[in-house]
Structure 1
Amino acid sequence: MIFDECDIKSLIRPVPDFPKPGVVFRDITPLFQSPRALRMVADSFIQRYVEADFSHVGAMDARGFIIGSIIAYELNRPLVLFRKQGKLPADVIGEAYQTEYGQALLEVHADSLCDGDKVLIFDDLIATGGTLLAAARLVRRLGAQVFEAAAIIDLPELGGSTLLQDAGIPTFCLTAFALDEA
């Protein structure tokens, strides 16, 4: 890594009781407000994947779009957007999934991937793993395969990264937070 993990952690703001009481939300907007930190985070992912054998970057709505689009641009790979229900304009396929807060539906354009494509799926954070697991199911339904799931932050106590690995999806995160960590 080209930065100290403590540096990145210091730029991720804990927001207690958001979006509901008892939850500590990990806000990455301070990281994005630091051009140096954003560059270091992006460069860390780019260095990891520069010679990797995948064809597309899949980015999750909405914060996953930010880093995912940088990675797709820098590595000259097509960007596939995985959106919340009703946000994509053309024919879509959808996948229901459970979040920390309830049920949701993830959609992708039906023509975004083909047989044989390999997709790096990317989000800002892995909590319960619901969003990335839904994206992986959508990737597979389109005949493609998941290369790896990547995120800036892992919340390992919520079990998402373990669920992804148990589903045969390699997982990579730049840093991790314990649920009670400030």
Structure 2
Amino acid sequence: MNKNEKIQLLRDAIVSYSDFPKPGIIFRDIFGIFRNIVAMRAMKDLIVEHILFLEVDLVVGLDSRGFLLGPIICMELEKPFLPIRKKGKLPGNVVQHAFTLEYGEATFEIQTEYVKKGARTIIIDDLLATGGSMAAAIELLKLSGAEVIECLTIIELSGLKGREKLGLPVHSFVQYD
């Protein structure tokens, strides 16, 4: 199966819900991919094939769907996985970064003892929308001494222009306006 066929499998497996979580919003749900083992394998293959040549030291997943994607990829790449979580969810030495979302504020944390200075890091999440969460993760990793080389998502809502806020390469597999 070629790359375009794999991307089409992902697109076909993504379920769209109108007016969720509020009227006027179309929610793009990646869990349809996880319910389709062929699409899930295609997703894993696409991510691994993309990351394989980036010389990555660390894969970081965002709370919470990035937690589903990151470990699968890390096993294939034989690289460590580290979560970025919401405030108060991680033990040990953590560094925090507060940020504003379209509906309020949040704080991300990362365990600093597992981030080596200069570690070439890729951030993975399910979806890039306005870029607020991803931008906060980039800042948090910079504060921790890592070098973020790319942000990777399965879905990108390109009409919201989230990638413009990031100042780093962004790769997504399925785009919606």
TM-score by length of 2: 0.93
CA distance in 1, matches of 2:23, 2:31: 21
Corresponding residue to 2:147 among 142, 145, 148? 145
Deviates more, 1:10-19 or 1:69-78: 10-19
Q: What secondary structure is seen at the aligned counterpart in 1 of 2:23?
A: coil
| Shift in Å, 1:4 | 4.6
CA distance in 2, matches of 1:154, 1:124: 9
Which digits, 9 at most, give the CA deviation of each residue in 1:11-51, with x for residues without a partner?
11111222222221111111101111011011001011123
CA RMSD of aligned residues (A): 1.4
Aligned to 2:173: 174
| Shift in Å, 1:2 | 5.5
Q: What secondary structure is seen at the aligned counterpart in 2 of 1:172?
A: strand
Aligned to 2:29: 27
CA distance in 2, matches of 1:159, 1:103: 20
Contact 2:6–2:46 (CA<8 Å) still a contact in 1?
A: no
| Shift in Å, 1:142 | 1.0
CA distance in 1, matches of 2:72, 2:101: 26
Q: How does 1:32-111 map to 2 (within 5 A)?
A: 32-111=34-113
Q: How high is the sequence identity, in percent, across the aligned residues?
A: 35
CA distance in 2, matches of 1:157, 1:118: 29
Which digits, 9 at most, give the CA deviation of each residue in 1:125-173, with x for residues without a partner?
0001111111111111111110100000000111111222xx2x11100
| Shift in Å, 1:70 | 0.8
| Shift in Å, 1:91 | 2.2
Corresponding residue to 1:12 among 11, 14, 38? 14
CA distance in 2, matches of 1:5, 1:111: 36
1:128 maps to amino acid? T
Structure 2 unmatched runs, 5+:
none
Q: What secondary structure is seen at the aligned counterpart in 1 of 2:122?
A: strand
Corresponding residue pairs, total: 175
CA distance in 2, matches of 1:4, 1:118: 27
Structure 1 unmatched runs, 5+:
none
Contact 1:2–1:40 (CA<8 Å) still a contact in 2?
A: no
Which digits, 9 at most, give the CA deviation of each residue in 1:56-106, with x for residues without a partner?
000011111111111111101110100112111222111112223322111
